[in-house]
Amino acid sequence: MSESRLDPAHRERYARQIRLAGFGESAQAALLESHALVIGAGGLGAPVLSYLAAVGIGTISVIDPDIVELSNLHRQVIHSEAAIGGRKIDSARQRMSGINSSVEIRTHPILLTADNALDLFADVDIVIDGSDNFATRYLANDACEILGIPLVWGTILGFDGQVAVFDARGGVTLRDLYPEVPAPGSVPDCAVAGVLGPLCGSIGSAMAMETIKVLTGIGTPLTDAVAVHSSLDAGWERIPVSPIPGRKPVTDLQQHRADYAQHSFGAAAAETNGEEADRTELGPPALNWSELSAEATVVDIRDDEEISAGMAAGAIHMPMDELLADPGRLPRAHASAAESGAEAGVALYCRSGIRSAKAAAQLRGQGIAVASINGGYLAYLSQPANRSV
């Protein structure tokens, strides 16, 4: 789009940014022609989506299967109390359309997986990762490397946050910054460690700014470095990151599926010193929702405040701490797979599968036949039958 193709409505709406020295109508035209994909409509996604809609990104895709809960509202400012119990992507789309009705918004109420990532990323110009788990972060990173798409990455925990731009076409990636995928549960998430809302705004706004820089060519994007922010002393530190010599480029997601399955039992079971593999009488350690039989006892181990927005149909609620303190409360807890059938036994789920995997590993170590449901409640919401929630 040339400068002359900006219509009067564009010039009026974006007048203040068009006037910026070095920005002008050409940069605005670049934004209007761009397609950005944002992973997550939560703490980081809220400011990212709001600002990208306001600045005039032509097409914005959003991926998030989750629903709005009361505990989200202190930091996920794109949602309102009226949205509780509804899809985050629907709430986000309503807010973004209210900010800028000329933006095309595409929503995907599904989990990002190794099976759909390349298709979802295929026609986008940039990906912004506002996810809250390492499985998704490495998957997004690798899919972007395969497709040659820049990735704006951010993370928050407690009072601190990090921002970077990964671009395998000529710079470092997440695997250069963090070569080893952290073990599930080794780094607490916001539900465990907590987070202040304004920090989400600080990091999310920085991510939105990096997105604009990459798409328009203004300034110097945060490539080959990571910016670390400490909110308590208002400090920002830019730390250089160098490519790992000899690192093999990612060319096939299937070769790295284990890195994207941290929500499943696999990694947690490794902590049982290999004994788990021999306990076939306990049935499979992990199952997908589609593999559960109608007779299975499904247990939601999320905390009380997490279930306010909904549970899987037919599930019973037993918070993880209470379950581990008294496993005897678990229905058919000591039934073996041979007695009850693997898929007809007891299956645990949490929000994303990480806590249920660890709980299942601990219980199976005591000889209790339970399985963890891969992907947790988010995977449940991603099923076609549940996407109308």
Q: Which residues are catalytic?
A: 190, 350
Residue type, 314: G
How many CB atoms are closer than 10 A to CB 169? Answer: 10
How many CB atoms are closer than 10 A to CB 295? Answer: 10
Lookup: tokens for 307 = 């279930």
> What sections of the chain are H helices per DSSP?
8-13, 15-18, 24-32, 45-55, 88-99, 117-121, 134-147, 174-177, 190-193, 197-216, 265-269, 320-325, 337-340, 354-364, 376-382
Cβ-Cβ contacts under 8 Å for 298 (sequence gap 6 or more): 292, 312, 314, 315, 316, 347, 349, 373
Q: What is the DSSP string of 203-218?
A: HHHHHHHHHHHHHH--
Lookup: tokens for 338 = 């041979």
Lookup: tokens for 201 = 């705004």
- Do residues 305 and 70 make contact, with C-beta atoms less than 8 angstroms apart? yes
Which strands form 59-63's sheet, in the order they lie side by side?
Answer: 104-108, 59-63, 35-39, 126-129, 151-157, 160-166, 225-230, 235-240
